[in-house]
């Protein structure tokens, strides 16, 4: 039998990307990824009371193919993450904040830890480090105001002092014999660095001594110098401040290029946050047509950050009843959007920024079930 000729018909096959199935071979080692995340926004920027960084770690080595972004890690969000087979969850709010005394199935936060470890999923939280970062949550929130200049309300300080120690002690010594005695004595004190240089005061040669020391060493230095009235009466003690970091810190004080009515600002904020409603407290003597030029804002809960700031408007997620009353009594309008509504939209920008920084080596996806727990009904 003669075989009949076979026609080959070319077909175009479309590959549809699914966030659940990951066919990419790209991945990053967890430790390398954490280093990149810290380069994006150093955890040293976080508030001292916060609990940031890697909160749950699967046994090493652990590779990450898919990074999952969420504002809050609830059990519903965890179920979504497991269905999408993610390897690391970046939860803006830390699901573990207060210490856990046991890991059982009793409470929802304990169950999160159990399910993460059982499925080899890491959990990382940046929280206030992202609040303070120049490209972080508060800067994103300010984008919804219109064209403006902004500065942090509470600037961050560099994590380390530019020189060793927290204090500087300066005094002068007249004769060489005293100089040798003093330098020999202070060098025996731990955490003290010594420098000296010659000076002339009232036609008298002197040696100026500078000591950089820690808080603990300072007390020992003072105790030594107080033994000599000649040294102690001419001693200067300076407190060394860590330098401020530009464009970095909690909250933002924003000055619009052109003032707008409060009604216009409300619509801008609702559009930026994709909200149909916000809560408004009118300042005393203000109306919806009152001009807004200066806005003080803080994502999340802004009472302590915004307190005492001079502005036409406070913008935040939530404030206490009495803090709202205080602001309104000063003629300051207050807009409250619910806590996480002032944060969640940042995650879309974060996905793009991390994708570029990581050169798209891993998949980065947003939670579809994460939402603020409060609704207007």
Which residues are known binding-site members for a divalent metal cation?
A: 93, 131, 339, 343
- Of 338, 345, 157, residue with least CA distance to 248: 157
Alpha-carbon span 353 to 29, nearest angstrom: 19
Residue 179: both structure tokens together: 């100089």
For residue 272, give Cα distances in angstroms to 140, 145, 148, 152, 282: 10, 8, 15, 20, 21
Q: Report the binding-site residues.
A: 93, 131, 339, 343
| 124 φ/ψ angles, rounded to the nearest 5 degrees | -130, 140
* Sign of the CA dihedral with 267 first, then 271, 272, and 277 last: positive
Alpha-carbon span 42 to 254, nearest angstrom: 24
What burial letters (b/e) apply to 97-122, b meaning 16+ CB within 10 Å? eeeeeeeeeeeebbebbebbbeeebb
Q: Which residues, in sequence order, are bridge partners of residue 173?
A: 207
- Of 34, 23, 20, residue with least CA distance to 63: 34
For 5, which DSSP code?
A: P
The tally of CA atoms less than 13 A away on the side-chain side of residue 120 is 10
Give the Cα-Cα-Cα angle 357, 358, 364 (nearest 5 degrees): 110
- List Cβ neighbours of 3 (8 Å cut-off, separation of 6 or more): none
- Of 276, 169, 164, 150, residue with least CA distance to 224: 169
Question: Residue 269: exposed, middle, or buried by beta-carbon count in 10 A (0-12, 13-18, 19+)?
Answer: buried
Alpha-carbon span 84 to 365, nearest angstrom: 9
């Amino acid at each position: 039998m003669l075989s009949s000729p076979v026609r080959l018909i070319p077909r175009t096959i479309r590959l549809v990307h699914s966030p659940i199935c990951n066919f990419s071979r790209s991945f990053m080692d967890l430790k390398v990824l954490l280093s990149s995340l810290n380069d994006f926004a150093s955890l040293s920027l976080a508030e001292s009371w916060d609990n940031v960084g890697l909160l749950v770690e699967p046994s090493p080595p652990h590779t990450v193919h898919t990074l999952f972004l969420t504002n809050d890690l609830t059990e519903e969000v965890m179920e979504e993450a497991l269905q999408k087979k993610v390897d690391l969850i970046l939860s803006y709010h830390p699901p573990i904040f207060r210490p856990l005394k046991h890991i059982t199935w009793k409470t929802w936060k304990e169950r999160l830890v159990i399910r993460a470890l059982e499925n080899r999923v890491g959990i990382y939280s940046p929280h206030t480090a992202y609040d303070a970062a120049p490209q972080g949550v508060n800067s994103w929130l300010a984008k919804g105001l219109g064209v403006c200049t902004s500065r942090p309300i509470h600037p961050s300080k560099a994590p380390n002092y530019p020189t060793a120690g927290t204090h500087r002690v300066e005094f002068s010594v007249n004769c060489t014999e005293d100089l040798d005695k003093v330098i020999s004595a202070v060098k025996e004190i731990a955490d003290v660095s010594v420098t000296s240089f010659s000076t002339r005061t009232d036609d008298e040669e002197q040696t100026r001594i500078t000591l950089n020391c820690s808080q603990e060493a300072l007390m020992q230095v003072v105790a030594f110098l107080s033994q000599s009235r000649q040294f102690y009466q001419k001693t200067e003690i300076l407190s060394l401040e860590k330098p401020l970091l530009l464009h970095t810190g909690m909250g933002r004080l924003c000055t619009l290029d052109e003032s707008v009515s409060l009604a216009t600002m409300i619509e801008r904020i609702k559009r930026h946050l994709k909200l149909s409603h916000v809560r408004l407290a009118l300042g005393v003597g203000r109306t919806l047509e009152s001009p807004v030029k200066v806005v003080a804002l803080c994502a999340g809960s802004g009472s302590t950050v915004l307190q005492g700031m001079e502005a036409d408007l406070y913008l935040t997620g939530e404030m206490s009843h009495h803090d709202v009353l205080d602001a309104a009594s000063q003629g300051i309008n207050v807009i409250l959007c619910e806590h996480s509504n002032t944060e969640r939209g940042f995650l879309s920008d974060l996905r793009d920024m991390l994708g570029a920084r990581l050169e798209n080596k891993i998949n980065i996806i947003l939670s579809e079930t994460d939402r603020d727990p409060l609704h207007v009904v």
